[in-house]
């Protein structure tokens, strides 16, 4: 028996779809507009900043902000500092978080549940209140104004989250696979490297992206632990270079922000495909 929808029902569905698309479009424009404004502003000159005609579209496009950024500042050095700090901290946090997550998810020992809860509680502690005691440690060990001050302190924020995230991925992997490997004589290290990690690629990618993003955009620790201009990372150096009291050089600020965000854009664009393919190929219980 074929039931045909009435004209009123079809109109209601079309109206609901139109409203849904309108809401999604408005939300998309709301999210995209800051990025659009950043890009457009980076190609404006000083006179265009104060002109209503060039408010939403510079005419003509100028490159003086980028010329000043790359030729008259140490932006390349700041970029290198950010890459060294972010990559080192991310690999360190991911490696430690992987070992901790596997131990808490698979091994049975006294206090395992308490330690798992402690990891989650540690992640909930605001990082902004930790830089004061950490700064004392940094000074005492002579690491102030060096990249190691950030490389060794960032994992204190990243490891709890990485451990908590990877625990969930490890628990989705059937334990029978490890039991078969143990029967065949494989060690725990071999099981982790050859069975668990290949199946936990989505979790590893997620943890890596989160850690790298946080390290790249972090401001408070980098502002506190680094004082020499040549040693600063991109977020702190751009603000210090192009903000003088209440004077903001918006064109150079937006140019630096756009150039500084490119590694994150490339990272997400490159890993999205791998993340989706890993998700579809993951083992499910």
The percentage of the chain sitting over the pLDDT mark of 90, rounded to a whole number, equals 14
Asked if residue 54 has pLDDT above 70, the reply is yes
Q: What is the CATH number of domain 73-281?
A: 1.10.3720.10
pLDDT digits (tens, 9 = 90+) for 27-50: 999 989 988 988 888 888 877 777
Q: Read off the pLDDT of each residue in 139-145 and give the average, rounded to a whole number.
A: 87
What gap in Å lies between CA 9 and CA 206, rounded to an integer?
Answer: 43
What gap in Å lies between CA 266 and CA 77, rounded to an integer?
Answer: 20
The band of 276, judged by pLDDT with boundaries at 50, 70 and 90, is: low
Asked if residue 92 has pLDDT above 50, the reply is yes
Predicted confidence at residue 83, as pLDDT, reads 93
Q: Which residues contact 148 (CB under 8 A, 6 or more apart)?
A: none
Asked if residue 93 has pLDDT above 60, the reply is yes
Q: How far is CA 139 from CA 127, 148, 162, in A?
A: 18, 12, 27
Instruction: Indicate whether this model's pTM tops 0.75.
Output: yes
What gap in Å lies between CA 209 and CA 277, rounded to an integer?
Answer: 16
pLDDT digits (tens, 9 = 90+) for 191-218: 888 888 888 888 888 888 888 988 998 8
Tell me the domain boundaries of the chain: 7-63, 73-281
């Amino acid at each position: 028996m074929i039931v045909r929808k009435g004209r009123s029902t079809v109109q209601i569905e079309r109206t609901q779809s139109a409203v849904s698309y309108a809401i999604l479009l408005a939300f998309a424009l709301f999210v995209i507009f800051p990025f659009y404004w950043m890009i457009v502003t980076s190609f404006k000159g000083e006179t265009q900043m104060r002109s209503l005609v060039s408010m939403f579209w510079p005419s003509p496009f100028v490159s003086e902000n980028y010329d000043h950024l790359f030729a008259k500042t140490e932006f390349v050095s700041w970029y290198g500092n950010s890459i060294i700090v972010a990559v080192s901290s991310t690999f360190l946090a991911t490696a430690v978080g992987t070992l901790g997550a596997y131990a808490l998810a698979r091994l049975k020992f006294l206090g395992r549940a308490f330690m798992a809860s402690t990891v989650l509680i540690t992640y909930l502690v605001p990082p902004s209140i930790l830089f004061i005691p950490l700064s004392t440690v940094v000074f005492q060990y002579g690491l102030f104004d060096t990249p190691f001050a950030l490389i060794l302190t960032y994992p204190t924020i990243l490891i709890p989250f990485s451990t908590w995230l990877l625990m969930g991925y490890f628990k989705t992997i059937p334990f029978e696979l490890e039991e078969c490997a143990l029967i065949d004589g494989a060690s725990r290290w071999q099981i982790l490297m050859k069975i668990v990690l290949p199946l936990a690629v989505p979790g590893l990618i997620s943890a890596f992206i989160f850690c790298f993003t946080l390290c790249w955009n972090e401001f408070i620790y980098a502002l506190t632990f680094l004082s020499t201009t040549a040693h600063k990372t991109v977020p702190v150096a751009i603000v210090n270079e192009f903000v003088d009291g209440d004077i903001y050089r918006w064109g150079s600020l937006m140019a630096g922000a756009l150039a500084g965000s490119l590694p994150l854009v490339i990272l997400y664009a490159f890993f999205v495909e791998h993340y989706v393919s890993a998700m579809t190929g993951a083992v499910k219980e």
